[in-house]
Amino acid sequence: MHADTVVGRATSTPSSAEKAVAPASAGASLIDGTALAKIIRGELAEEVRELHARGVTPGLTVVLVGEDPASAVYVGAKEKASREAGMTGETIRLPADTSQAQLLALVEQLNADGSVHGILVQMPLPKQIDPDTVILHIDPKKDVDGFHPVNVGKLLIGQADGFAPCTPAGVQRMLVHYGVETRGADCVIVGRSTIVGKPMAALMVQGGAGADATVTICHSRTRDLAAHTRRADILIVAAGRPRMITADMVKRGAVVIDVGMNRIADASTKSGTRLVGDVDFEGVRQVASLITPVPGGVGPMTIAMLLRNTVRAARRTLGA
């Protein structure tokens, strides 16, 4: 049985060495997503070698429509990580004026291609294409993003044979890896997106390791946000607003997971910008016990769990 993060539970058991926490320069210790993602990719490389021996090479195909710079960088990282793990990592780039019918025809071709085990259509899509229609056309067994309604439903009811979205699955793996006690913990999630907030809540409320939490979802209409965040033992922030969570909004000793990635102006850098999260890192790390940095926290885990889902999809073709 291979260690895996699946819908409803995290089944991996970290070693004592894996639980080592990198100290921050002050206050909270850092949750090192880059280091953990490297461990996961090493596990996956071994699984891929086993699959090679049985005549299967896990294949991930990413479809990129248009020239969105951030999407292009992210897609390039996915392709590179796939190949480093011994997988087939292909990116199909389509022009921005691609029609919805053309994209759907491509998705159907990939559904029928036995060498492709995972399909990911990179969002956002140009305005002439409806993302929900595209997601519905992806074979749920190849939906390694975990966005198809079939996989969403399996996640919600706790069925372990679906795919959980990669970012929430990565966050849960972090909590397990660092030995965070989630059973009975107050877990507050800021953000209700279908990509992070809602599936994160569904994972945390299930039974099992890295879950069994009491979950609250906060959003733009929540009254007195700070009253909710201050009672959180585990605070997961995915709201898309730079540094919105400040130290006075965090319970002392809380575990803080910052999913946000926002580019702000910074004249001191060569590019004139820098990445920050949804959490005021410098302030919050003075009161938290564990905290993810941005960058180097959740981001690398998202890609690692995408590869994990693809390897799972490939293994299923062997009935495993």
Question: Is 142 marked active-site?
Answer: no
Which amino acid, one-letter code, is at 271?
S
Question: Is 161 marked active-site?
Answer: no
Question: Is 258 marked active-site?
Answer: no
Catalytic residue among 4, 32, 78, 142: 78
Catalytic residue among 122, 143, 198, 258: 122
For residue 37, give both structure tokens: 């993602």
For residue 163, give both structure tokens: 């795919």
Catalytic residue among 4, 32, 143, 145: 145
Which residues belong to the active site? Answer: 78, 122, 145
